[in-house]
Amino acid sequence: MSKSALITGVSGQDAFYLSELLLGKGYTVHGLVRHVARAQAMLDPRIVVHVGDLLDQQSLVRAIEESEPNEVYNLAAMSFVPASWAEPTVTGEITGLGVVRMLEAIRQVNPKIRFYQASSSEMFGNVVEEPQNEQTPFYPRSPYGVAKCYGHFITVNYRESYGIFACCGILYNHESPLRGLQFVTRKITDAAARIKAGRETVVRLGNLDVRRDWGFAGDYVRAMWMMLQQDEPDDYVVATGDSHTVEEFLTRAFRRAGLVAAEHLVLDPSLRRPAEVVALRGDASKARRRLGWEPTVDFAGLVDMMVDADLAAQGVANG
Protein backbone atom coordinates (compact mmCIF):
# COMPACT_ATOMS: atom_id res chain seq x y z
CA MET A 1 0.00 0.00 0.00
CA SER A 2 1.43 3.37 -1.02
CA LYS A 3 2.06 6.12 1.50
CA SER A 4 0.47 9.54 1.49
CA ALA A 5 1.91 12.87 2.59
CA LEU A 6 0.45 16.29 3.34
CA ILE A 7 2.66 19.30 2.60
CA THR A 8 2.01 22.81 3.87
CA GLY A 9 3.52 25.69 1.92
CA VAL A 10 3.02 23.50 -1.12
CA SER A 11 3.50 26.30 -3.67
CA GLY A 12 7.02 27.11 -2.43
CA GLN A 13 10.48 26.13 -3.64
CA ASP A 14 11.03 23.32 -1.13
CA ALA A 15 7.59 21.84 -1.64
CA PHE A 16 8.19 21.63 -5.40
CA TYR A 17 11.30 19.50 -4.95
CA LEU A 18 9.78 17.51 -2.09
CA SER A 19 6.57 16.73 -3.98
CA GLU A 20 8.59 15.58 -7.00
CA LEU A 21 10.65 13.33 -4.73
CA LEU A 22 7.58 11.84 -3.04
CA LEU A 23 5.64 11.38 -6.26
CA GLY A 24 8.65 9.56 -7.68
CA LYS A 25 8.53 7.22 -4.69
CA GLY A 26 4.89 6.40 -5.31
CA TYR A 27 3.35 8.61 -2.64
CA THR A 28 -0.05 10.21 -2.92
CA VAL A 29 0.82 13.85 -2.30
CA HIS A 30 -1.64 16.28 -0.73
CA GLY A 31 -1.03 20.02 -0.52
CA LEU A 32 -2.48 22.57 1.87
CA VAL A 33 -3.36 25.85 0.13
CA ARG A 34 -5.22 29.02 1.03
CA HIS A 35 -6.60 29.65 -2.46
CA VAL A 36 -7.52 26.71 -4.68
CA ALA A 37 -7.67 28.40 -8.07
CA ARG A 38 -4.24 29.99 -7.87
CA ALA A 39 -2.65 26.84 -6.45
CA GLN A 40 -4.09 24.52 -9.07
CA ALA A 41 -2.66 26.70 -11.80
CA MET A 42 0.83 26.44 -10.26
CA LEU A 43 1.03 22.91 -8.90
CA ASP A 44 1.67 19.50 -10.41
CA PRO A 45 -1.81 18.16 -11.31
CA ARG A 46 -1.00 14.97 -9.40
CA ILE A 47 -1.07 16.88 -6.11
CA VAL A 48 -4.40 16.66 -4.27
CA VAL A 49 -5.30 20.14 -3.06
CA HIS A 50 -6.92 20.89 0.31
CA VAL A 51 -7.97 24.32 1.52
CA GLY A 52 -6.53 25.30 4.89
CA ASP A 53 -4.55 27.88 6.78
CA LEU A 54 -2.02 27.64 9.62
CA LEU A 55 -3.99 30.44 11.28
CA ASP A 56 -7.12 28.26 11.40
CA GLN A 57 -6.97 25.20 13.65
CA GLN A 58 -10.16 23.60 12.37
CA SER A 59 -9.08 23.81 8.74
CA LEU A 60 -5.96 21.83 9.64
CA VAL A 61 -8.03 19.17 11.39
CA ARG A 62 -10.25 18.92 8.32
CA ALA A 63 -7.28 18.69 5.93
CA ILE A 64 -5.74 15.85 7.94
CA GLU A 65 -9.05 14.00 8.15
CA GLU A 66 -9.53 14.32 4.38
CA SER A 67 -5.98 13.46 3.30
CA GLU A 68 -5.28 10.71 5.88
CA PRO A 69 -1.51 11.21 5.57
CA ASN A 70 1.22 8.95 6.85
CA GLU A 71 3.53 11.96 6.90
CA VAL A 72 3.05 15.71 7.29
CA TYR A 73 5.74 18.15 6.14
CA ASN A 74 5.26 21.62 7.59
CA LEU A 75 7.07 23.89 5.14
CA ALA A 76 4.74 26.89 5.37
CA ALA A 77 6.12 30.04 7.00
CA MET A 78 6.67 33.74 6.58
CA SER A 79 10.04 32.77 5.17
CA PHE A 80 11.59 36.07 4.03
CA VAL A 81 13.66 37.21 7.01
CA PRO A 82 13.73 40.99 6.30
CA ALA A 83 9.93 41.07 6.03
CA SER A 84 9.60 39.66 9.53
CA TRP A 85 10.53 43.05 11.01
CA ALA A 86 7.75 44.69 9.01
CA GLU A 87 5.21 42.02 10.03
CA PRO A 88 6.44 40.54 13.32
CA THR A 89 3.00 39.58 14.64
CA VAL A 90 1.93 37.74 11.50
CA THR A 91 5.34 36.07 11.40
CA GLY A 92 4.79 34.79 14.94
CA GLU A 93 1.27 33.60 14.19
CA ILE A 94 2.22 31.62 11.07
CA THR A 95 5.83 30.59 11.60
CA GLY A 96 5.50 29.98 15.34
CA LEU A 97 1.94 29.29 16.45
CA GLY A 98 1.06 27.67 13.12
CA VAL A 99 3.31 24.77 14.09
CA VAL A 100 1.48 24.02 17.33
CA ARG A 101 -1.86 24.25 15.54
CA MET A 102 -0.71 21.57 13.11
CA LEU A 103 0.75 19.41 15.87
CA GLU A 104 -2.46 19.69 17.86
CA ALA A 105 -4.48 18.72 14.79
CA ILE A 106 -2.27 15.64 14.36
CA ARG A 107 -2.64 14.76 18.02
CA GLN A 108 -6.42 15.00 17.78
CA VAL A 109 -6.90 13.16 14.47
CA ASN A 110 -4.10 10.58 14.35
CA PRO A 111 -1.03 10.81 16.62
CA LYS A 112 0.67 8.07 14.59
CA ILE A 113 1.27 10.51 11.72
CA ARG A 114 4.96 11.33 11.26
CA PHE A 115 5.67 15.07 11.34
CA TYR A 116 8.50 17.13 9.84
CA GLN A 117 9.06 20.69 11.03
CA ALA A 118 11.14 23.06 8.90
CA SER A 119 13.46 24.62 11.46
CA SER A 120 16.10 27.13 10.35
CA SER A 121 19.74 28.07 10.79
CA GLU A 122 18.43 31.59 11.53
CA MET A 123 17.61 30.24 15.01
CA PHE A 124 21.36 30.27 15.76
CA GLY A 125 21.54 33.97 14.93
CA ASN A 126 24.43 35.58 16.81
CA VAL A 127 26.35 32.32 16.86
CA VAL A 128 28.39 31.23 19.86
CA GLU A 129 30.47 28.68 17.93
CA GLU A 130 31.35 27.68 14.38
CA PRO A 131 30.30 25.43 12.82
CA GLN A 132 26.92 25.00 14.50
CA ASN A 133 25.49 21.58 15.34
CA GLU A 134 22.37 20.22 17.06
CA GLN A 135 23.77 21.16 20.49
CA THR A 136 24.66 24.77 19.66
CA PRO A 137 22.52 27.25 21.65
CA PHE A 138 20.04 29.42 19.73
CA TYR A 139 20.38 33.21 19.71
CA PRO A 140 17.92 34.46 17.05
CA ARG A 141 18.36 37.95 15.62
CA SER A 142 15.04 38.49 13.82
CA PRO A 143 11.32 37.97 14.46
CA TYR A 144 11.57 35.13 11.94
CA GLY A 145 14.34 33.43 13.89
CA VAL A 146 12.45 33.86 17.16
CA ALA A 147 9.28 32.36 15.65
CA LYS A 148 11.26 29.44 14.24
CA CYS A 149 12.66 28.78 17.73
CA TYR A 150 9.12 28.49 19.07
CA GLY A 151 8.15 26.12 16.26
CA HIS A 152 11.25 24.04 16.91
CA PHE A 153 10.80 23.69 20.65
CA ILE A 154 7.05 23.04 20.48
CA THR A 155 7.80 20.20 18.05
CA VAL A 156 10.30 18.73 20.52
CA ASN A 157 7.74 19.22 23.28
CA TYR A 158 4.99 17.31 21.44
CA ARG A 159 7.45 14.53 20.66
CA GLU A 160 8.41 14.19 24.32
CA SER A 161 4.94 14.82 25.76
CA TYR A 162 2.72 12.81 23.40
CA GLY A 163 5.10 10.39 21.69
CA ILE A 164 4.47 11.88 18.25
CA PHE A 165 7.10 10.94 15.67
CA ALA A 166 8.20 14.54 15.10
CA CYS A 167 11.50 15.67 13.58
CA CYS A 168 13.03 19.10 13.09
CA GLY A 169 15.36 19.74 10.19
CA ILE A 170 17.61 22.69 11.02
CA LEU A 171 18.21 23.63 7.41
CA TYR A 172 20.81 26.13 6.31
CA ASN A 173 20.19 28.39 3.32
CA HIS A 174 19.13 26.27 0.38
CA GLU A 175 18.61 27.73 -3.05
CA SER A 176 17.59 26.80 -6.59
CA PRO A 177 16.33 28.40 -9.80
CA LEU A 178 12.90 28.39 -8.09
CA ARG A 179 14.04 30.63 -5.22
CA GLY A 180 11.89 33.75 -4.82
CA LEU A 181 13.23 36.97 -6.30
CA GLN A 182 13.20 38.66 -2.89
CA PHE A 183 16.01 36.41 -1.65
CA VAL A 184 19.53 37.75 -2.17
CA THR A 185 20.81 34.76 -4.15
CA ARG A 186 18.05 34.84 -6.73
CA LYS A 187 18.09 38.65 -6.74
CA ILE A 188 21.73 38.43 -7.79
CA THR A 189 21.33 35.75 -10.45
CA ASP A 190 18.22 37.41 -11.92
CA ALA A 191 19.99 40.77 -12.01
CA ALA A 192 23.00 39.24 -13.75
CA ALA A 193 20.73 37.78 -16.43
CA ARG A 194 18.77 41.00 -16.88
CA ILE A 195 21.93 43.09 -17.14
CA LYS A 196 23.35 40.64 -19.66
CA ALA A 197 20.12 40.96 -21.65
CA GLY A 198 20.30 44.76 -21.53
CA ARG A 199 17.13 45.09 -19.43
CA GLU A 200 18.85 46.38 -16.28
CA THR A 201 22.13 48.16 -15.51
CA VAL A 202 22.69 47.71 -11.77
CA VAL A 203 22.04 45.41 -8.82
CA ARG A 204 21.37 46.97 -5.40
CA LEU A 205 22.62 45.10 -2.35
CA GLY A 206 23.14 45.79 1.32
CA ASN A 207 25.80 43.93 3.30
CA LEU A 208 28.29 42.06 1.09
CA ASP A 209 30.20 40.63 4.06
CA VAL A 210 27.39 38.37 5.30
CA ARG A 211 28.55 34.77 5.12
CA ARG A 212 26.21 31.82 4.59
CA ASP A 213 26.29 28.06 4.11
CA TRP A 214 24.43 27.71 0.80
CA GLY A 215 23.18 24.39 -0.58
CA PHE A 216 20.77 23.08 -3.22
CA ALA A 217 17.11 22.77 -2.22
CA GLY A 218 16.77 19.47 -4.09
CA ASP A 219 19.41 17.94 -1.83
CA TYR A 220 17.85 19.29 1.34
CA VAL A 221 14.34 17.94 0.78
CA ARG A 222 15.88 14.49 0.47
CA ALA A 223 17.09 14.92 4.06
CA MET A 224 13.55 15.82 5.16
CA TRP A 225 12.21 12.57 3.78
CA MET A 226 15.07 10.55 5.25
CA MET A 227 14.31 11.87 8.75
CA LEU A 228 10.78 10.48 8.65
CA GLN A 229 11.97 7.04 7.54
CA GLN A 230 14.07 6.41 10.66
CA ASP A 231 13.17 4.11 13.54
CA GLU A 232 13.26 6.97 16.05
CA PRO A 233 12.48 10.68 15.66
CA ASP A 234 15.26 13.23 16.12
CA ASP A 235 16.49 16.64 15.01
CA TYR A 236 19.20 17.20 12.40
CA VAL A 237 21.31 20.03 11.04
CA VAL A 238 21.31 19.95 7.23
CA ALA A 239 24.15 21.94 5.68
CA THR A 240 27.14 21.70 3.35
CA GLY A 241 29.72 22.72 5.96
CA ASP A 242 31.08 25.29 3.51
CA SER A 243 30.36 29.02 3.70
CA HIS A 244 30.75 31.99 1.34
CA THR A 245 30.07 35.71 1.48
CA VAL A 246 27.40 37.51 -0.50
CA GLU A 247 30.26 39.19 -2.36
CA GLU A 248 31.62 35.79 -3.39
CA PHE A 249 28.18 34.75 -4.61
CA LEU A 250 27.85 38.01 -6.54
CA THR A 251 31.28 37.71 -8.13
CA ARG A 252 30.74 34.10 -9.19
CA ALA A 253 27.26 34.79 -10.60
CA PHE A 254 28.29 37.81 -12.67
CA ARG A 255 31.39 36.06 -13.95
CA ARG A 256 29.19 33.14 -15.05
CA ALA A 257 27.11 35.65 -17.04
CA GLY A 258 30.24 37.17 -18.58
CA LEU A 259 30.05 40.35 -16.49
CA VAL A 260 32.19 42.18 -13.93
CA ALA A 261 30.16 42.60 -10.76
CA ALA A 262 31.91 45.78 -9.60
CA GLU A 263 30.79 47.60 -12.75
CA HIS A 264 27.11 47.09 -11.89
CA LEU A 265 26.97 47.06 -8.08
CA VAL A 266 25.22 49.75 -6.03
CA LEU A 267 25.50 49.46 -2.24
CA ASP A 268 22.26 50.52 -0.56
CA PRO A 269 22.41 50.97 3.24
CA SER A 270 18.60 50.77 3.44
CA LEU A 271 18.82 47.07 2.52
CA ARG A 272 20.75 46.21 5.68
CA ARG A 273 18.84 44.39 8.42
CA PRO A 274 18.23 45.98 11.83
CA ALA A 275 20.13 43.11 13.48
CA GLU A 276 22.31 41.13 11.10
CA VAL A 277 23.34 37.50 11.39
CA VAL A 278 26.91 37.83 10.20
CA ALA A 279 27.98 34.24 9.59
CA LEU A 280 26.39 30.79 9.58
CA ARG A 281 28.04 27.46 8.81
CA GLY A 282 26.53 24.11 9.71
CA ASP A 283 27.94 20.80 10.86
CA ALA A 284 25.76 18.08 9.29
CA SER A 285 27.90 15.17 10.49
CA LYS A 286 24.95 13.69 12.43
CA ALA A 287 22.78 13.67 9.28
CA ARG A 288 25.62 12.13 7.30
CA ARG A 289 26.22 9.47 9.93
CA ARG A 290 22.66 8.51 10.85
CA LEU A 291 20.71 9.27 7.69
CA GLY A 292 23.40 8.60 5.12
CA TRP A 293 22.69 12.01 3.64
CA GLU A 294 25.19 13.87 1.48
CA PRO A 295 24.81 17.03 -0.62
CA THR A 296 25.37 16.52 -4.34
CA VAL A 297 25.66 20.17 -5.49
CA ASP A 298 28.52 22.39 -4.31
CA PHE A 299 28.61 26.19 -4.11
CA ALA A 300 29.98 26.72 -7.63
CA GLY A 301 27.51 24.27 -9.13
CA LEU A 302 24.61 25.95 -7.32
CA VAL A 303 25.50 29.45 -8.50
CA ASP A 304 26.07 28.30 -12.06
CA MET A 305 22.76 26.39 -12.08
CA MET A 306 20.83 29.46 -10.95
CA VAL A 307 22.56 31.86 -13.35
CA ASP A 308 22.10 29.52 -16.30
CA ALA A 309 18.38 29.19 -15.55
CA ASP A 310 17.93 32.95 -15.33
CA LEU A 311 19.92 33.55 -18.50
CA ALA A 312 17.72 31.03 -20.30
CA ALA A 313 14.61 32.78 -18.94
CA GLN A 314 15.90 36.03 -20.47
CA GLY A 315 16.69 34.31 -23.75
CA VAL A 316 20.42 34.93 -23.38
CA ALA A 317 23.14 32.42 -24.15
CA ASN A 318 25.50 31.52 -21.29
CA GLY A 319 28.66 33.61 -21.12
Q: Span 50-71, mean pLDDT?
A: 96
What integer best gives the mean pLDDT of the chain?
94
Domain assignment of residue 139, yes or no? yes
Read off the pLDDT of each residue in 120-148 and give the average, rounded to a whole number. Answer: 95
Is residue 290 in some structural domain? no
pLDDT tens per residue, range 164-202: 999 999 999 999 999 999 899 999 999 999 999 999 999
Over range 86-92, report the average pLDDT: 88
What pLDDT shows up at residue 269? Answer: 85
At 275 the pLDDT is: 66
In a domain, 52, yes or no: yes
β-pairing verdict for 211-212 and 244-245: antiparallel
Segment 3-38, tens digit of pLDDT: 999 999 998 999 999 999 999 999 999 999 987 656
Is there a catalytic annotation at residue 93?
A: no
285 within domain boundaries: no
**Integer Cα distance of 154 and 285 in angstroms:** 24
- The structural domain count of the chain equals 2
- State whether 196 and 224 are in the same domain: no
Q: Can you tell me the distance from the alpha carbon of 274 to that of 141, in angstroms, rounded to the nearest whole number?
A: 9
* Residue 187 near residue 308, CB atoms below 8 Å: no
- Find the catalytic residue in 122, 142, 150, 243: 122
CATH code of the domain in which 169 resides: 3.40.50.720
List the domain range (segments joined by +) for residue 148.
Answer: 4-174+215-238
Residue 289 lies in a domain: no
pLDDT band at 42 (very low <50, low <70, confident <90, very high): confident
Would you say residue 124 has pLDDT above 90? Answer: yes
Q: Which of 19, 59, 119, 120 is catalytic?
A: 120
pLDDT for residue 72? 98
For residues 159 and 262, membership in a common domain is answered with no
How far is residue 209's CA from residue 278's CA, in Å, rounded to a whole number?
8
The question of whether 65 is a catalytic residue gets the answer: no
Among 27, 73, 116, 144, the active-site one is 144
Same domain for 70 and 15, yes or no, is: yes
Q: What CA–CA distances, in Å, run from 125 to 81, 130, 281, 287?
A: 12, 12, 11, 21
Note whether residue 261 is domain-resident.
yes
One domain for residues 106 and 156: yes
Instruction: Respond yes or no: is residue 232 known to be catalytic.
Output: no
Question: pLDDT category, 41, cuts 50, 70, 90?
Answer: low
Identify whether 41 is part of a domain: yes
- Over residues 218-262, the pLDDT tens digits come to 999 999 999 999 999 999 999 999 999 999 999 999 999 999 999
Residue 271: pLDDT band with limits 50, 70, 90:
confident
Measure Cα distances from 148 to 51, 142, 143, 152, 291 in Å.
24, 10, 9, 6, 23
CATH code for the domain of 305: 3.90.25.10
